[in-house]
């Protein structure tokens, strides 16, 4: 059974944040000025347990979810994540279990153990190849070479093709667009360039900082002929472009200049058990309280159906000069 919202959008994808903590302090997501030493992160008992996450996922699958992506914060900070992946991989009807990571903790051994547990795909965030730019963007002086190693480890372990996500911010890393495309062209990996978004309330977002998808495409087309490729499935967020010579593809995610709210199939489960219906939502629906309050599976399922069935979120379609100032949940809390 697939549940649809008020705009006819099916529930198909579930993004699960397993922690609100991260070891990077990227200015567009978790700037140091806000997420400093005194910031109050969730306590362990506030996080959903692996068993609670697996139970909820099983119930979401009954309402149409086929794909799960584990996020954070940085999900590899969550100890023994393989145990959760094993539980998720065993759920009948769940066809895809993926992970988004900054790559800092993705060693060869970790990649192998994640694959053995049932992980199928990995996306690595990488905003620059230039080491100085990359260190400035993660703001903890982490070297780019170790993230490049992590991508290799993931591929070796069978978590390929690896997707590489790059957030492009004007005046910061525009030159890295071509450099990243060139580095991974012909490798089978897919680089996706993401317009800088007005997520959360702490990244100082301005429209002037957005490098549009059209500009990104023009940068790439100056180097290589590209031909458009259609979406692989309903709700795919990236606009796909293939190299004319067959050397692979790149993706462009235009959630600011060309929103795709009309085909959004994603629910988001925060680490504290709140479900959000939009990346830019301000209110969550508390499933932890249901789990720990003794609610039955059927009672929880009825809430899933009611909440998704009444969904009418389309923030990016309605974005205006006023909307970025609205209070929204932080991206680090729900994993993007």
pLDDT of 201: 57
pLDDT of 333: 58
**CB neighbour list of residue 168: distance below 8 Å, 6 or more residues apart:** 127, 174, 176, 177, 193, 194, 195, 196, 211, 216
pLDDT of 58: 98
Q: Which residues of the chain have pLDDT under 70?
A: 199-205, 316-336
Average pLDDT over all residues of the chain: 92
CATH superfamily of 17-334: Aldolase class I (3.20.20.70)
For 248-290, the pLDDT digits (tens) are 999 999 988 887 788 999 999 999 999 999 877 778 999 999 9
- Cβ atoms of residues 273 and 289 within 8 Å: yes
One-character DSSP codes across 203-255: S---GGGB--HHHHHHHHHTTS-EEEE--SSTT--SEEEEETTSS-EEEEE-T
Output the pTM of the full model.
0.92
What are the extents of the domains in the chain? 17-334
For 140-184, the pLDDT digits (tens) are 999 999 999 999 999 999 998 999 999 999 989 999 999 999 999
pLDDT of 241: 97
For 218, phi then psi, to 5°, come to: -65, -40
């Amino acid at each position: 059974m697939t549940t649809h919202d008020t705009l006819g959008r099916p529930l198909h994808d579930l993004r699960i944040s397993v922690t609100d903590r991260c070891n990077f302090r990227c200015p567009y997501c978790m700037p140091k000025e806000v997420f400093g030493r005194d910031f109050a992160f969730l306590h362990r008992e506030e996080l959903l347990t692996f068993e609670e996450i697996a139970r909820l996922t099983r119930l979401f699958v009954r309402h149409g979810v086929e794909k799960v992506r584990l996020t954070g914060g940085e999900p590899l900070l969550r100890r023994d994540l393989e145990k959760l992946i094993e539980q998720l991989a065993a759920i009948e009807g769940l066809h895809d279990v993926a992970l988004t990571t900054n790559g800092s903790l993705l060693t060869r051994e970790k990649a192998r153990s994640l694959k053995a547990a049932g992980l199928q795909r990995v996306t690595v965030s990488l905003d620059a190849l230039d080491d100085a730019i990359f260190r400035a963007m993660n703001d903890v002086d982490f070297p780019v070479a170790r993230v490049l190693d992590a991508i290799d480890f993931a591929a070796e372990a069978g978590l390929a093709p690896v997707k590489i996500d790059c957030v492009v911010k004007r005046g910061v890393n525009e030159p890295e667009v071509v450099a990243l495309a060139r580095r991974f062209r012909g490798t089978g990996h897919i680089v996706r360039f993401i317009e800088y978004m007005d997520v959360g309330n702490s990244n100082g977002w301005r429209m002037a900082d957005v490098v549009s998808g059209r500009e990104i495409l023009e940068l790439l087309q100056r180097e290589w002929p590209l031909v458009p490729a259609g979406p692989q499935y309903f709700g795919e967020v990236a606009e796909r472009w293939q190299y004319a010579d067959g050397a692979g593809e790149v993706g462009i995610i235009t959630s600011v200049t060309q929103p795709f709210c009309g085909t959004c199939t994603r629910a988001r489960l925060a680490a504290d058990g709140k479900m959000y219906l939009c990346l830019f939502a301000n209110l969550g629906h508390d499933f932890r309280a249901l789990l720990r309050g003794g609610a039955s599976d059927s009672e929880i399922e009825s809430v899933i159906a009611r909440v998704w069935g009444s969904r009418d979120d389309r923030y990016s379609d309605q974005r205006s000069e006023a909307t970025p100032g609205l209070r929204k949940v932080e991206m680090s809390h729900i994993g993007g």
